[in-house]
Structures are given as C-alpha cells and as structure tokens.
Structure 1
Amino acid sequence: MHATTVDGTRIAYQVRGTGQPLVLLAGQSNNHTWWDPIRADFEAHYRTITLDWRGTGESDKPDEVYSTPGFADDVVAVLDDLGLDSAHVYGTSMGGRVAQWLAIKHPERVNALVLGCTSPGAAHGYERSQEIRKALADPERSDRVLLELMYTPAWLAENPGPYYVLGDGSMPSYAKGRHLVASNRHDAWDGLPTIAAPTLILHGTDDIFSPVANAQLLADRIPGARAELVTGARHAYFHEFRSVASLAVLTFLAAAQDRT
C-alpha cells in the first residue's frame, strides 16, 4: 500500500495484526524490515504499521532535501491514508528523532510515545565519537563496525545473520546522503517540552552509537517522561534484548491505554 504526501511523494507502508494502531519507525537509511525480527511481539496486541522512509524500499526516492520534521509529515500521510486519527508511536534511532517531531508538530495524532536509542540532536545531545565516525566512513569496515555497535560480541558469535539493521542495500547513494544529513541536522530541543503524550524512553546501557546519556536528557526535557535502561545492551537493544524491551513497551502502552 502507498500513501501520497502533500508534495506528491508515494510512501509505501505495511499493516499487520489487529487492535489499536501502533506505528513502528525504523532507523536511518533502513526500511520497514528493520522491525521484522520483533514485529510479532506487537502484532498479537496491536495493529502494527510500518513504512519505508522516502528514499528507501518501495517508497519514492526524490533527490531533494530530507528532514526529520519532513519524515514526520510522511508518517501523518500514512495515518491519513489509513483513516486513523491517532496511534501509538514507537521510534528507534532516527525513527525516534522523527517520532519526537511527530509528537511536537502533530500532538493530536500521538496517543503514547516510545523513544528508543535516540537523542534530541547534536546541538544539545550527546554524539558518537569522532573515532566511531571515521570507522563507519571506511567502506572496508563499515558493516562490521556497525554490527559491533549494534550487538554484543556474544550475540554476534551466536547469530551469523541475516541482519536487519545495516541499511537498505537498494538505496541510491544520493538517498543515503540525504538520510545522513536529515538525521545529523535533527534538533527538536525547543519543542520537546511541548510533548503531551505519555512518553517512555528506552536505551541500552552500553550504547555508544547514540550514547546512553541521551536517555535521561530526553526524560528530563519531556514532561512526565520516564527513562528505562536495558542493562548490557548496545544500539539494537530492541532486537538482542527483545524479551526485556518488548515487554517494557507493551507494559507501558497498556498502562497508557488504561489512563485514557
């Protein structure tokens, strides 16, 4: 299925499960398959909605400026196409940055908000080191470096793949660049105190890709937000530590529904 945005871009989206709608937002330069390893955790309870960011998957790939507020507008186009007034929203990594803007710009569309392994942006948040940036820029090492930032060595030793967090291999190079700039320019700091949706923030304690200090920073900035840390987890806490992380999300969403 595709939704059409106000600028005419077609955004591919996927719907599975039944119940209250839950939008799942993937990381930078990834499509909806980011959620494939754990989507079943939520399908039994919610009508899960994923999408391919513009530039990825089956969505259009315009060569123009992308931004996290613009990606949030694309999510609204998907909700509109489905006839949904609102939904729960769970965004991880860049998806968490987009989810911030969704709750800031379109508060009436977000029932409850989960922000995973994300930050308010470079201007006020904690960024990865220059050493990590240099390692990721090396095409001979980038995939392995990224995997080691995502998962613990023990997990990688026992799980040879396939992996779902290394980016959409079909993306044109210009779209990858557009995604990188959009994520790097994210700055939701001034808008965070306006978020009204109940908010849970999740982060792995051993995440240095998006440093864990961002979790409490966001929790302190968003009214009533609460941060939970997943002990021993790296950036892909939601996958490797799914039994802990998915349960935390489901418990939070159930409590948020009970309050409405």
Structure 2
Amino acid sequence: MILLSFDIEEFDMPLEYGKTISFDEQIAISTAGTEVILAMLQKQQVKATFFCTATFALARPQLIKRMVADGHEVASHGYYHSEFEPAHLLSSKLVLEGITGQPVTGYRMARMMPVDEAEIHKAGYLYNSSINPTFLPGRYNNLKVSRTMFWQSGVLQLPASVSPKLRLPLFWLALHNFPMWFYKYLCHKTYRADKYLNLYYHPWEFTDLNDKAKFGFPGYVSKNSGAAMLRRMEELIISFKQRGLAFGTISEFLELSSIQAEA
C-alpha cells in the first residue's frame, strides 16, 4: 500500500534560516497548502494521513474536520512545532480527538526527532512514524535502525521509506530535487522490496517558496515548490495507479496488515 502523509503545522521553518514571519502568516501559508493538497487528493481519489499539531488544529478546526469528512486519517504532530515536552503527547492527542470526534492512534515528532517510546505508549498511541532511517549530515544518523516496521516499548515504529541498500531518503526534499524518473524508480524499487511505501511531505511545499528575502530558503528547499510540486505529486500518484498500487491511511494499512500489539 502507498502511504502518503503530510505534516500539518504552523509554518515556522523560516526560523531555521534566520527569518521571522508572523503567526497569522504561518497559519495562512499552511492553510493554503493544505487546501491544495485536499483538492488534489479528492481529484485523484486518494486517502492520506495528516499529522497535525494541536496549535494548527485549534487555529483551523474546520479544515481538520474536512480531512475527516474526506476520509483521511488525522494523527498527532505534537502540540507545537518548535516546542516539546512529554505532556504534549497526550494533550495534542486530546485536542485532535476533540475536534475530529475520532481516536488518534498515530504520532510523528516534529522534524522527525527522537522521542521517548515509553512516553508515546503511555499517551495511548499505537504507532510512531518519527524515524528517517538514513544519514543526513547535521540531521539524522539512523543507518543502524531498521528500514521497515518494528516494535519498540509497545509502540509500532513505522520509519519513513528509504531505498534498499543505499538508504536514499524518499522524503519531501527528494521529490523536490531528484529527477522525476529517478524518484519514481527509487519508489518502485523500494515498494518491491518492502511491499509498502511511507512517504511524507508538508503543505507549505505546495506554495511558492522562492522569495529568499522573506523565507531565507536555499535552492534545494524552494526548488519545484508551489505549482511545480503539485504537478510532481500528481505525476507520482498517477505512476503508482498505473502499476495498480493501492493507497490508504496508515491506520487502514495496519488494520489490513493484521498488525497486533507486542505480547
């Protein structure tokens, strides 16, 4: 199954590059990108998982409800995107459940950073998708972590997909920068090896990020953003459909895979 997921948050990434934008604009940019994604997914008749911060959800509750109405899964991305304490695991879950009226069973830590699995379990999550099992200088060094699903401290770990052997990451930056033929090749090769793909992106990628004075992003972040990102995403989805591959939410995938809790 193809698992598309989107990390929905207050758009605070410019802070990493020494730029400041107002909270209202952070929410507005993420909202605009999310609306593009939802329209595209509806057009393609594809279901996805949205990892949302409680802060964004409280600012745009109707948009979160629209995700549920469209058949998507809502999972937790923490309470804030740039601030974390263990209590946020439960508090973000409760906020999202209050808005969606549905159980929230999945978690993804902001920026795919490490998180205490015992605390994840205590907060009542079934799965955690916070591992990028690759090496990126200054960000990740997870080459010794399993590429595929495994259990830890009573929580199912669902790492982001990386290619076999070389562990080339298939995350958002890869779709921006790899030639499309190469990105699709890596995705299909990884699917054949693992029988599923766990791919993640962000709503702000579907807006124009080329204003360097405003956002401060290097070219590898802003490249193929906005309309170009939408075209790439649709091309990717169509290539999966042409091979007869199914899409679904992470919870649907786990249910169909008959994943059972650790004994």
Q: TM-score range by the shorter chain?
A: 0.3 to 0.5
Higher relative contact order (CA 8 A, sep 6+): 2
TM-score, normalisation: structure 1: 0.33
TM-score, normalisation: structure 2: 0.33
